[in-house]
Copies of this chain bind each other. A is one copy, B any other.
Amino acid sequence: METQIDNLLKRNQLSVTGSRKKILELFLASRGALAHGDIEKKTGEKFDRVTVYRTLQVFLEKGIIHTIPTADNSIRYALCKDECSEGHHHDNHVHFICTTCGNTTCLADVTIPEVKLPVGFKATEFQMLVNGVCMECQ
C-alpha cells in the first residue's frame, strides 16, 4: 500500500527511509508546529540528533515544511500545504502561539490581511504571529 507519506517523499525525489517517515508522521499527527526539540523527544529518542537536523534541512529545501518564526529562541517547523512547491510557498495563514501550553497552531482559515508599505519597500512574503491562549487551554 502506498501511503500518503511515501507519496510525499517520492514526489520530492527523496528516498523513503525510516526516519523520514517517522518524522513526517509526527508532523501529520500533531496539528501544529514542532520545534527541533519536540521531534527528538516525541519520536522516543530513536534517531540520532544529527539525523533530525539533516532531515529537517532536506524537508525545508524541498518545501515540504516551512519555518515559523517565534519571539523566543525556538524555531518551529510545520508542514506546508499541498500548494507549496520547491522554493515557492503559499504560507499565507496566521500562526497562533499559545502562551499556556506553548503549542503553535496554523490557523489555516485566517488569512493574513493586506498592509500598505511605505514607498520604496517591496514585499515578497508576509508572516503573522498571534500570541494568546488557545482553544484547549481556555
Q: Are A124 and B131 in contact (CB under 8 A)?
A: yes
In chain A between 65 and 122, which residues have their CB closer than 8 angstroms to a CB of chain B? Answer: 67-73, 75, 94, 96, 99, 107, 109-110, 112-122
CA A127 to CA B120, docked complex, whole Å: 22
A120: B residues at CB distance < 8 A: 134-135, 138
A26 an interface residue at 8 Å Cβ cutoff? no
A132 an interface residue at 8 Å Cβ cutoff? yes
Number of A positions contacting B (CB below 8 A): 39
| Smallest Cβ-Cβ distance to A133: which chain B residue | B122
A70's partner among B69, B112, B116, B122 (CB-CB below 8 A) is B69
User: A: which residues have CB within 8 A of B?
Assistant: 67-73, 75, 94, 96, 99, 107, 109-110, 112-135, 138
- Top-7 shortest CB links A-B: A120-B135, A69-B69, A123-B132, A113-B113, A125-B131, A127-B129, A124-B132
Q: A115-B128, A126-B130, A128-B128 are in contact. List 18 more A-B contacts (CB 8 A).
A: A69-B69, A69-B70, A69-B71, A94-B115, A96-B123, A107-B117, A107-B121, A110-B115, A110-B116, A119-B135, A121-B134, A122-B132, A124-B133, A125-B130, A125-B131, A126-B129, A127-B130, A128-B129
